[in-house]
Structure 1
Amino acid sequence: MTHFHPLRRHRTREGARALKRNRPAGGAMHKGRGAGVALWVVCLMLLVAPFPIAFHFYHRDVLPPRLGTPAADTVGIDLAGNGFPAGSGAAPIVLAYHDIGTDSSSKYTIAPEEFEAQMSALDAAGYRSITADQFLSYIDGANVPPHSVLITFDDGTSGLWTYADKILERHRFTAVSFLITRLVGTNQPYYLTWRQIAAMQDSGRWDFGSHTQDLHHRVRSTPAGVPGAALTQRKWLPEAGRTETHAEFIARIRADLAGSIDDLTAHGLPRPALFAYPFSENETGDGDGTSQDASTVVHSLFPVTFVNNAPMLTTSRRQSRNGVVNRIELTDTDTPQSLLDRLARTTTIPITDDIDLANAARWTDEAGNIADITVDGRTVRLAAPSATYARAAFAPRKTADWVEYTISATIAGLDPDANPTDTIAVRTGSPEQILVRVSRNFVTISRGAFSATEPLFESRLAASDRHRVDVHVGDRSTDITIDGTPLFSQLVSGPTEAATGGFTFAGDRRSTADPFAPFTGVAVLPDAVS
């Protein structure tokens, strides 16, 4: 390529002679040429000077500054995390954020000052963050510190570097960012760059997971179809005039997910084990099994996945066995107090010998609503004045990981004329749920849901208006003792981590004019102190 040079001269013989003829005496020509050279240099410098500056600010390998946010106080906030009994919050709770930034109309962008206030509240309330590896260890059976949270961010926006990182550093918190890897470094300065990601990884505060390579958008399965997530819905192929086949769909999403893994590892990051579903759409109800097949592909590559679906379920190993963990999603309407309140509602309850049974809000009926019961000390009475059947589960979401405990109660009021029956169920919500149904002179033991049980054992009892029932929930078996006599033991048939759960009381009566038989002397004893 030929480049223009301002000082280039003709070097022909004729040009040299002409130059010599026209050169002024006394060196005037030399002085004039020097002035011209200087003028050219000044012009050239003015022309190119902006480019190094622009390169410095816009080159993706140069780190922009992290911005500080003033520390927030917690005056006026009810620090609920400090009010839980010892052992509460054994299961970590997962928080889901998107972006931290200013001047945004999106509800998913939280102002830096508000994020700082929320992190200050978490810190002051005694919560601590855990890493991706610690969360995976919890799913595999390890314990994490009480009141642990896994802080996550979807999409991989630059607000994580600019604002969130310094706030996390101040509170000694860690976080996980789920990246749409093909968008990294694009649409600057909206998305993170690989250089920022590397610095975040090196800080020890950040782990990175997949949010797909490039499937965070919606597609139509027919020209007039309703748009759905590209990860869980087959798309219309306009050039072919048809919807992609199931095989094409599987190949497309598998290639994308594998590509996201390759993108992360190619930039020196560990292979991701965590995945967040775009739009939280892991099940679309498509009717043809497409979303279920997509989930199968996802889980073949990532052992743990995340969604933000209501109602928020307490994190538990049992709930996470299908590979899907629900998160608390935070938006710009959340405050430090609302965050702590939401955490309190999903904090697990420990197995203790002084458990608070009187909190009526913890008891739920078969529809998941607050159960109609009364609790007087250690006596639980089913109410339901217009029904002949009632059920009350004790905090089923908060006790989903319960195991190695004994639930005891005396079923009283077994009147021979009214002939009521009561049921104590353990491992509530699991496929290994055991139901012990007791009447005045008979016991039936079964397994499964209340609506479809598998009979296991039945026996006559000495007729009495009360029977003491002790049910021990062990790691490998459920053992039933009635009136001090060991009566039956049932081994867990499936994975033990799927066989955990708390307890449920249920009652039948002949008519609404007859009372339900009360559960008296109710006690819960963990194996450690039994």
Structure 2
Amino acid sequence: MNATPDARRAGGRRGVLHWIARLTLVAVALSVLALPFYAGWQYYVFRRDVTPQGAPAPTHLDRALQASWHSGAEKLPEAAPPVVLTYHDISPTNPSQYVVTPQRFDEQLAALEAAGYRTLTTDEFVDYLRGGPAPPRSVYITFDDGTNGLWVYGDRILAKHHMHAASYLITGKVDHNRPYYLSWAEISRMAASGRWDFQDHTHDLHQRGQVDADGTQASALSNRLWLPAKQRVENVEEYQARLDGDIAQSLTDFADHGLPRPQLFAYPFSEMSERINLPIPGPSLQGVLERTFVATLTDLTHRPLPAGRRAAAARQVQRLEVFQDTTADQLLTQVRQWTLVPPVADAPLQEPASWVRTDGSNAKDIGVLTGAGPYPGTSGYAAADYLPMASVDWTDYTVTATVSDLADGGNNVNLTTRNDSADPITVGLSRSTVTLLRGSGDKREQISAKPLVAAATHQIDVTVSGNLVKVLVDGRTELSTTTTATGGNATGGISLSVRNGSDKTPWPRFTALKVAQVPPGAATSAASTLSVAKAVLLDPGASWATAPGVPSSMHVGGDGLAPTGLALSDYAAFEQERTAGWTRYTVRGTVRRLNTPGVSAALWARVGSPGAVSVEVSRRGVKVLSGSADNRRLVASRALADADHHDVEITVGSETTWITVDGTVNFAVPAKGDAGGTGGVAFSAYRDVTRNAWPTVRNLKVYEAAVK
């Protein structure tokens, strides 16, 4: 009996379903069998691309040494330009002087932590270079080359100390010569941790190449290479194309692996201007890099360029290199020497350790400048710079010096201001003449000269203010000149030199020296003024600036002022040039959104003067600091009732600055010495991590006050 059509269709469906079921079971079985092999392969790839990390060992540091680190740092400004550190690799076994051990790196970070230093991200460092105020005492830690030791050892040590570092990658080496260089998988994990960011160290030009027919080897980045097939060096166009192509490829590598575009570039071998065979005039390597990067970093410069306004103007930053034998104590000593300080020194001639001889003698003392000897023979020359790394941003200061034993016959002294700037100004002094010179070394040119009443002893007063240098000798004879450089290119400290041209005359000597800060523009005409009575701080048309000529990104509106952006610190000064003469006023406001202990904000008065006062409040405390935005010292601190907002009031008088917080906590800061001066108001804000909301200030007002 034949099956009905319906029965045949049902049987067909059962047959199809049967084969589908069998195929499904086979697929499941194959998946089950393949799963261990797949997992094994994935584990192999993971282990190939991600090296196991080493756990940091416990750090045992002498308590007395830690106490000395803390006390030594207390002498530095609470806020100052960061010191940039250069590391290369971390390894417990590599004997290279450029590789530190995990234990030493751990000790160095512990020392920085004990001394109150924080670490900056590249974004924060770039914000500073672009004109933001100096952050709280800090370092910017950089690692060149992108070596595997950063992941294996450095990452866990950074996490231990809650610190941050930047790795400068040779992108063409990533994933190659493993495990010496990092892998992209390790870099991805480092970036995700928040402890690292990544910047540029070329794609494949961190190498030396032949630069002439004789086989001379030099930086492939900084030189035109020899082309054997053509028996010549690259022409300018070929060099430019090779350089542009390498930079473009490195940027592509960053983008292809999900990393933010790099903002800074570190020179391979620190050879940024070797110029063995670059034509002069010709392409400037620094100029080419500035088209892509905010600034470049190097360990070797022709003049001091630690992070600061001078370095920002040059768009080139000098780093402090850390070696395998650099102890934690030595590192802190060097960091202190590199920390920029204000131009204040009561008796620098009594600080021999603060001077560096620049006459090629390699001497460690300055007795030759002060009359104590020893001397380089009966005639000759000696010179030294004062705080050469810490004074590069000096401006608005006076130098008072007394010189003795000047004699006829060729002995004389020089006092240089704006030292190592783009336009240093030198005062040359002999028994009967004062000369003003511009430039440095053999390139000095005389600007002017005047005769003096001949004497063995003269006093010099030099005022550096704005673009003006004024010289007064013995209170009678005056010379002046304006500098050709501006901004950070015009800043710099002081240098002294003595010369004796005859064995029949004594060596001249400096018997007294003092440096003091003066208000900005002290020797220039005053800017237009804005009276306190007419000032409206929250006027939307008013100028708020992070630095002179750099508008602030803070939002001004309604009854408040609020920071914006992704940085961890922000600052804005109100009409600073027009309020430089303000005194006898009260500024008040309510600092709000102090949501976590890591968030704080400050209201400022006397802004623009050496004795600017800032009142910084957090949820549970208040700090009163004195000094400019780049250099502040703690005056007082007090606990506050835990709250997410605090009312701050500052009253500026001619003799005292009065401060009240929440109507009950009071301070009085005498307006004497460094704590004095006139000036306007500002607001600054800080947060420990970007996920925390910015604090703001509300009800910000200023009005005249009837105080002495």
Q: What TM-score do you get using the length of structure 2 for normalisation?
A: 0.61
**Pair 1:166 & 2:119 matched:** no
CA displacement at 1:139 relative to structure 2: 3.3
Aligned residue runs from structure 1 range 267-346, under 5 A = 267-289=257-279, 293-309=284-300, 315-317=306-308, 318=310, 321-346=313-338
Rounded to whole Å, the distance in 1 between the matches of 2:217 and 2:178 is: 27
Aligned residue runs from structure 1 range 54-453, under 5 A = 54-59=41-46, 66-75=53-62, 77=65, 79-80=68-69, 82-83=71-72, 85-87=75-77, 90-104=80-94, 107-145=97-135, 147-221=137-211, 225-236=215-226, 243-289=233-279, 293-309=284-300, 315-317=306-308, 318=310, 321-361=313-353, 362-367=355-360, 369-370=362-363, 373-374=366-367, 384=375, 385-414=377-406, 420-453=411-444
375 and 216 in structure 1: CA distance in 2 versus 1, 3 angstrom threshold: closer
CA displacement at 1:487 relative to structure 2: 1.7
In proportion to residue count, which structure has more strand?
2
Equivalent position amino acid for 1:52 in 2: A
- Note if contact 2:140-2:165 (Cα within 8 Å) is conserved in structure 1: yes
Query: Alignment partner of 1:56: what SS?
Result: helix
Query: Alignment partner of 1:493: what SS?
Result: coil
Equivalent pairs counted in the alignment come to: 491
- Note if contact 1:414-1:440 (Cα within 8 Å) is conserved in structure 2: yes
Equivalent position amino acid for 1:71 in 2: P
Rounded to whole Å, the distance in 1 between the matches of 2:232 and 2:54 is: 50
CA displacement at 1:81 relative to structure 2: 6.5
| Equivalent of residue 471 in structure 1, options 435, 438, 462 | 462
Residues 396-455 of structure 1: CA distance to partner in whole angstroms, max 9, x if unpaired? 33322221111102233445x668543322112224222222344432222222433322
CA displacement at 1:209 relative to structure 2: 0.6
- Note if contact 2:223-2:278 (Cα within 8 Å) is conserved in structure 1: no
43-52 or 364-373, which moves further after superposition? 43-52
CA displacement at 1:251 relative to structure 2: 0.5
204-213 or 449-458, which moves further after superposition? 449-458
Equivalent position amino acid for 1:438 in 2: L
Rounded to whole Å, the distance in 2 between the matches of 1:184 and 1:211 is: 12
Rounded to whole Å, the distance in 1 between the matches of 2:113 and 2:149 is: 21
443-452 or 57-66, which moves further after superposition? 57-66
Find the counterpart in structure 2 of residue 30 from structure 1: none
Q: Which has the larger radius of gyration?
A: 1
Query: Alignment partner of 2:250: what SS?
Result: helix
Find the counterpart in structure 2 of residue 512 from structure 1: 503
335-344 or 441-450, which moves further after superposition? 335-344
CA displacement at 1:214 relative to structure 2: 2.3
Query: Alignment partner of 2:259: what SS?
Result: coil
- Note if contact 2:311-2:488 (Cα within 8 Å) is conserved in structure 1: no
Rounded to whole Å, the distance in 1 between the matches of 2:452 and 2:65 is: 55
The sequence identity of aligned pairs, in percent, is 34
- Note if contact 2:304-2:420 (Cα within 8 Å) is conserved in structure 1: no
Query: Alignment partner of 1:451: what SS?
Result: helix
Rounded to whole Å, the distance in 2 between the matches of 1:429 and 1:175 is: 30
Rounded to whole Å, the distance in 2 between the matches of 1:374 and 1:108 is: 36
CA displacement at 1:247 relative to structure 2: 1.8
- Note if contact 1:365-1:372 (Cα within 8 Å) is conserved in structure 2: no
Query: Alignment partner of 2:349: what SS?
Result: coil
CA displacement at 1:106 relative to structure 2: 5.1
Query: Alignment partner of 2:265: what SS?
Result: strand
CA displacement at 1:274 relative to structure 2: 0.9
Rounded to whole Å, the distance in 2 between the matches of 1:366 and 1:499 is: 23
- Note if contact 1:73-1:120 (Cα within 8 Å) is conserved in structure 2: no
CA displacement at 1:301 relative to structure 2: 2.0
CA displacement at 1:321 relative to structure 2: 4.4
- Note if contact 2:339-2:389 (Cα within 8 Å) is conserved in structure 1: no
Aligned residue runs from structure 1 range 472-487, under 5 A = 472-485=463-476, 487=478
75-84 or 111-120, which moves further after superposition? 75-84
CA displacement at 1:107 relative to structure 2: 5.0
- Greater relative contact order (CA < 8 Å, ≥ 6 in sequence): 1
For structure 1, list consecutive stretches of 5 or more residues without a partner in the other structure.
Answer: 1-36
Query: Alignment partner of 2:203: what SS?
Result: coil
Query: Alignment partner of 2:436: what SS?
Result: strand
CA displacement at 1:57 relative to structure 2: 4.2
In proportion to residue count, which structure has more helix?
1
CA displacement at 1:131 relative to structure 2: 2.0
Find the counterpart in structure 2 of residue 11 from structure 1: none
- Note if contact 1:371-1:391 (Cα within 8 Å) is conserved in structure 2: no
Equivalent position amino acid for 2:403 in 1: I
For structure 2, list consecutive stretches of 5 or more residues without a partner in the other structure.
Answer: 1-24, 519-609, 611-672, 675-708
306 and 516 in structure 1: CA distance in 2 versus 1, 3 angstrom threshold: same
449 and 214 in structure 1: CA distance in 2 versus 1, 3 angstrom threshold: closer
Rounded to whole Å, the distance in 2 between the matches of 1:316 and 1:486 is: 38
368 and 292 in structure 1: CA distance in 2 versus 1, 3 angstrom threshold: farther
442-451 or 76-85, which moves further after superposition? 76-85
Rounded to whole Å, the distance in 1 between the matches of 2:169 and 2:356 is: 40
**Pair 1:49 & 2:44 matched:** no
CA displacement at 1:503 relative to structure 2: 1.7
Query: Alignment partner of 2:335: what SS?
Result: helix
Equivalent position amino acid for 1:149 in 2: V
64 and 344 in structure 1: CA distance in 2 versus 1, 3 angstrom threshold: same
Rounded to whole Å, the distance in 1 between the matches of 2:466 and 2:514 is: 20
254-263 or 426-435, which moves further after superposition? 426-435
Rounded to whole Å, the distance in 1 between the matches of 2:289 and 2:328 is: 34
Rounded to whole Å, the distance in 1 between the matches of 2:444 and 2:241 is: 41
CA displacement at 1:510 relative to structure 2: 5.4
Equivalent position amino acid for 2:272 in 1: N
431 and 112 in structure 1: CA distance in 2 versus 1, 3 angstrom threshold: closer
Query: Alignment partner of 2:444: what SS?
Result: strand
CA displacement at 1:312 relative to structure 2: 10
316-325 or 198-207, which moves further after superposition? 316-325
| Equivalent of residue 516 in structure 2, options 515, 521, 525 | 525
CA displacement at 1:340 relative to structure 2: 3.2
Query: Alignment partner of 1:116: what SS?
Result: helix
Rounded to whole Å, the distance in 2 between the matches of 1:505 and 1:465 is: 18
- Note if contact 1:88-1:146 (Cα within 8 Å) is conserved in structure 2: yes
Residues 320-362 of structure 1: CA distance to partner in whole angstroms, max 9, x if unpaired? 6444333333343443334334434544454224354323241
Residues 5-62 of structure 1: CA distance to partner in whole angstroms, max 9, x if unpaired? xxxxxxxxxxxxxxxxxxxxxxxxxxxxxxxx99xx9999677624412313414998
Residues 113-139 of structure 1: CA distance to partner in whole angstroms, max 9, x if unpaired? 332122112222333222223333443
- Note if contact 1:352-1:526 (Cα within 8 Å) is conserved in structure 2: yes
262 and 355 in structure 1: CA distance in 2 versus 1, 3 angstrom threshold: farther
Residues 195-248 of structure 1: CA distance to partner in whole angstroms, max 9, x if unpaired? 443443343322211111222333334686244333234445566676544322
